[in-house]
Amino acid sequence: MPDIRKRSGTKGVVYQVRYEDKSSATGYSYKSFPLRKEAQAFIENLSTVKQLNRQIKSLDAAVDTWLNICESEGRDGRKPVSRAVIKLYTQRARIIKAYDWGKALQEITKPDVVAFRSWLLNQYSRDQSRKVLSSLHSVLLEMISRGHIGHDPAMGVRIQSETTPIEIPSQEEVRTILRAADALATSRHSQVREAWKRYRPMIYLAVASGMRPQEYVALPRRDVLSNGIRVSQAMDRSGKIGSPKSRAGHRTIDVGQEVIQMILDFTGDEGSPDNLVFGTRTGKPMQLVPFRASAWNPLMKEAGLMVPNADTSEAQPKYTPYALRHFFASSLLMKNCDIKYVQSQMGHARAGLTLDTYGHLISVKDDARSATTRGLVGELLSA
């Protein structure tokens, strides 16, 4: 029976697996891994390799099977993905299949996946490579669950995401944005005033909830609660409304009564609970591109938050609508809300994602705490 032994040497700690091997002179062979979970996965693979279902023999066939499962029945008990997501997955599948793997699905090892990662990074952007590698990992996990392979050779093979600095409006800038929304809603031009009956509560809601734009344009009346906003659906890339992309996207956000009342005043008493709060006159969802052109850009201009484009020097909004989501998260963190609460309100699948995006704000807050702590004795003496 195979076992795991922890070994320490000049190169650090490794986990050595001893397993039966009739081809060896001693009857045993050894294999070392940097992580215990990798050693354990190797042992599990040894016990299942003889029982594998080898009906799917190539990675190309595995990728096609995975795509079909995602589209027809959904992976791991989830709902089938949308057409827009399938389109993205299909593009990634083409990239995976374009690589010359040179061996059967069951023979692919971790070094093969590492070589594939190097090929990706030399052919595509870092962000695209990371997404393709993630899809490969998903393919292999599906093959494990269906008995075609015994372990995941992509385990531990990752591409770190690029940390693009986010721009967060200041409190004063957000006040200016809200005042601009108020001004547009009371414009002397009837068409502007009429349009901003809808846009004004949208902007206030974005500030108060941190909702993604694709979530608040898909908000149904039934999800406006007495003490907050429930997120049960969102708009996908194709402009259609369906479930949020992840389970974490389903959430209830604590929203102040003044914004809830603003939404209720706009919707009135008539209409079905399934009607969209911010739908068009025909009841269809507002699309994001027209929203930016007809609402967001005029709002930024009214607020005086336009900057020159680096390439054309033409004036453009200083922020995107997503900046209000960043403002919401930063406000919670600066008010000492714990990271798990911020994660739940933002709809992040992992607290690590929240930390990766907004962790720099926590360090700023920690600096303020440190200054307060160091000043305790000084305050006592001065008193």
Q: How many other CB atoms are found less than 10 A from the CB of residue 166? A: 15
Residue 292 predicted with pLDDT over 90? yes
User: What is the domain range of residue 77?
Assistant: 55-162
Say yes or no: 94 and 198 in one domain.
Answer: no
Residue 180 has pLDDT above 80, yes or no: yes
Q: Which 3-state string (H, E, C) describes the chain?
A: CCEEEEEEECCEEEEEEEEECCCCCCCEEEEEECCHHHHHHHHHHHHHHHHCCCCCCCHHHHHHHHHHHHHHCCHHHCCCCCHHHHHHHHHHHHHHHHCCCCCCHHHCCHHHHHHHHHHHHHHCCHHHHHHHHHHHHHHHHHHHHCCCCCCCCCCCCCCCCCCCCCCCCCHHHHHHHHHHHHHHHCCCCHHHHHHHHHHHHHHHHHHHHCCCHHHHCCCEHHHECCCEEEECCEECCCCCEECCCCHHHCEEEECCHHHHHHHHHHHCCCCCCCCECCCCCCCCCCCHHHHHHHHHHHHHHHCCCEEECCCCCCEEECCCCCHHHHHHHHHHHHCCCCHHHHHHHHCCCCHHHHHHHHHHHHHHHHHHHHHHHHCHHHHHHHC
**239-282 residue pLDDT tens:** 889 888 788 899 999 999 999 999 999 999 888 999 999 998 88
Question: Residue 352: inside a domain, yes or no?
Answer: no
For residue 263, how many other CB atoms are within 10 A of its CB? 20
Q: What is the pLDDT of residues 201-245, one digit of tens each?
A: 999 999 999 999 999 999 999 999 999 999 999 998 888 898 887
Query: Same structural domain for residues 39 and 59?
Result: no
CATH classification of the domain holding 136: 1.10.150.130
My answer on whether 260 and 158 are in the same domain is no
373 found inside a domain: no
Q: Judge whether 139 lies within some domain.
A: yes
187 with 321, same domain: the answer is: yes
Distances (CA, A) of 69 to 37, 77, 80, 145, 176: 28, 11, 8, 12, 48
Note whether residue 340 is domain-resident: no
Residue 81 scores a pLDDT above 60: yes
Pairing state between β 234-235 and 228-231: unpaired
Mean pLDDT, all residues of the chain: 87
pLDDT of 304 over the 60 cut: yes
Query: For residues 248 and 196, which has the higher predicted lDDT (pLDDT)?
Result: 196
The answer as to whether 181 is a domain residue is yes
pLDDT of 164 above 80: no
pLDDT greater than 90 at residue 297: yes
Token pair, residue 17, equals 């697996």
For residues 328 and 313, the model is more confident at 328
Lowest mean pLDDT among 24-38, 43-57, 72-86, 364-378: 364-378
- Residue 373's pLDDT band (cuts 50, 70, 90): low
Q: Which two tokens stand for residue 332?
A: 């919670």
Split into its structural domains, the chain has a count of 3
Same-domain check for residues 153 and 212: no
Last residue of a domain, one of 136, 162, 188: 162
Check pLDDT > 90 for residue 364. no
What pLDDT does 48 receive?
57
Check pLDDT > 70 for residue 157.
Answer: yes
Q: Are residues 215 and 239 in the same domain?
A: yes
Model confidence pLDDT, tens digit, residues 317-338: 999 999 999 999 989 988 888 8
- Mean pLDDT within 112-126: 95
Reported as a pLDDT band with limits 50, 70 and 90, residue 19 is: confident
Which range, of 75-79, 142-146, 221-225, averages the lowest pLDDT? 75-79
Beta partners for 3?
18
- Same domain membership, residue 195 and residue 294: yes
Listed in sequence order, the residues at least 6 apart from 129 whose beta carbon sits closer than 8 Å to its beta carbon are 117, 120, 121, 123, 159
Mean pLDDT over 59-68 rounds to: 94
Please indicate, yes or no, if residue 380 is contained in any of the structural domains: no
Is the domain of 181 the same as that of 291?
yes
Among candidates 346, 369, 370, which has minimal Cα distance to 358? 346
What's the CATH code of the domain at 245?
A: 1.10.443.10
Mean pLDDT, residues 10-22 taken together: 83
Q: Are residues 136 and 253 in the same domain?
A: no
Share of the chain above pLDDT 90, in %: 54
Residue for token pair 């040497």: 9
Is residue 139 over pLDDT 90? yes
Does residue 149 sit in the same domain as residue 238? Answer: no
Same domain, yes or no: 74 and 124: yes
What is residue 316's predicted lDDT score, i.e. its pLDDT? 93
Token pair of 49 as six digits: 């390799």
Q: How far is CA 6 from the centre of its chain?
A: 36
**How far apart are alpha carbons 34 and 14 in whole angstroms?**
5
Whether 372 is covered by a domain: the verdict is no
